[in-house]
Copies of this chain bind each other. A is one copy, B any other.
Amino acid sequence: MPVEITKQFIEDLQQLIGEKNNDSLLVLLEEVHYADIAEVIEELYTEEAIYLIRLLESDVTSEVIAELDEDVREKILRELSSKEIAEEIDELDTDDAADIISELSENQKEEVISHLEDIEHAKEIVELLRYDEDTAGGLMAKELVKVNENWNVLTCVKEMRSQAEEVTRVHSIYVVDDNNKLKGRLSLKDLLTTSTKTAIKDVLIKNVDAVNVNEKAEDVARIMQKYDLEAIPVVDEIGHLVGRITIDDIVDVIKEEAEKDYQMAAGLVDDVEADDSIFELTKARLPWLVLGLFGGLGSVFIMEGYENIMSDPRYGKLFFFTPLIAAMAGNVGVQSSAIVVQGLANDIIKGSLLSRLFKEVSLSLISGTVLGLLVMLFGVIMPSMMDTLLSFTVAISMLCVIIVAALIGTFVPIILDKRGIDPAIATGPFITTSNDIFGIFLFFYIAKLILGF
């Protein structure tokens, strides 16, 4: 069972490190999972972390390092020699190894690679470094179990035994021809239930799902989710088996995608966390705030055009409603864009643009009418606040603002998506800011038409 990482545990650890009490440290951490050790290390000072990493066996620390937050890892790797890093890398699967090496400086990369002991492993890592991290090639590992279609089950099992030593988890057994072309797979079940003399050719499952090495990571994620796959083989342009991707890496892709959309909707530019530095957080937050400021100044311009009605007791009250109008425009816009962006992400936006237009207008008409009636009711209850004409004006213009806001929220993401731009950018502050300006413009324009000032 997972260890509870308490403050006490961390403090005990820090004390033992301070005392250089290696024996007790080894006993304390003996049964702790590497994921928990990684969590502990993120709580320690860098020197303490280094001390632990030098103390523990590299088959554990390599996994710990792979598990760490990128910032923490960077700090730690900076203190380790290239030879020490290479020792950790030697223990890792090729995909994790390549991920870590790709974070190093060009110089250090070469040095670390030159120190790798296992030449075959080093070659595979270098191959993986060629691929963009957001592609199938960037996600895959070279570790896999493959057998030749011309073998029989017995040869196959023997061969697999030696291959399996290298592979942490056997997901599928891939079958290739003499040219390493992917022909199919064997299920572990078949292997357990077939006679040893059977030819592999006769039991392999053909038409196995595979992805091209250049496929985008999010498309790989979509395919693996849709077909409930736990591993997928990766092939090059001419069908050679070059690696395999497992579901645990895809889980990370899915989470990152979802978090990215969420952060964009919240107006955060970079992938930040609560524990990041003040500088990083400011860098992620300020750009959208500046945009919002310009938007706000834009609405100041619009309102200035109506300065003359301010001192008019009949119309001046309109200015009280600008935050309400802006808020409604913003909220409706965010709702519409969120639904569309999520639909696009899950590939479920179907039907024609015209039917979508019709739907959004109907939706806004319903919501806008309900909200407009509420405003008029408010006018009836509080006649001192707004007379009938004013509440009618606010209700009607709010209805129009809601319709326009919904259309902007719906179609801006769709248009961006058609042009190959990530539609998630058109959520959050982008949509609220543009809807604020449009909303206030429309509000005064319609009020002017109705009230005739």
Contacts and interface: CB of A to CB of B under 8 A. Distances in A.
Contact of A292 (B317, B320, B328): B328
Given A293-B324, A323-B323, A335 B266 contact: yes
Contacts of A327: 292, 295-296, 326, 330, 432-433, 436
Contacts of A326: 323, 326-327
Number of contact residues on A: which range applies? 35 or more
Interface in A287-331: 288-290, 292-293, 295-297, 299-301, 303-304, 307, 310-311, 316-317, 319-328, 330-331
Interface stretch (A48-56, A82-90, A156-164): A156-164
A225 B258 CA distance: 15
A342 B262 contact: yes
Contacts of A43: 350
Copies of the polypeptide in the assembly? 2
A165 interface: yes
29 contacts: A1-B209, A1-B210, A225-B248, A247-B251, A261-B262, A265-B266, A267-B338, A274-B343, A278-B363, A281-B339, A285-B363, A286-B370, A289-B331, A290-B371, A293-B324, A293-B374, A293-B375, A296-B325, A297-B324, A297-B375, A310-B311, A311-B311, A319-B320, A323-B436, A326-B326, A330-B330, A334-B428, A334-B429, A432-B432
Interface of A: 1-2, 31, 33, 35, 43, 157, 160-161, 164-165, 167, 169-170, 188-189, 192-193, 207, 209-210, 223, 225-228, 230, 246-248, 250-251, 254-255, 258-259, 261-263, 265-268, 272-275, 278, 281-282, 285-286, 288-290, 292-293, 295-297, 299-301, 303-304, 307, 310-311, 316-317, 319-328, 330-332, 334-335, 337-340, 342-343, 346, 348-351, 356, 359, 362-363, 366-367, 370-371, 374-375, 378, 385, 427-429, 432-433, 436, 440
6 A-B pairs with the lowest CB-CB distances in the bound complex, closest first: A296-B324, A266-B338, A258-B258, A274-B343, A311-B311, A323-B326
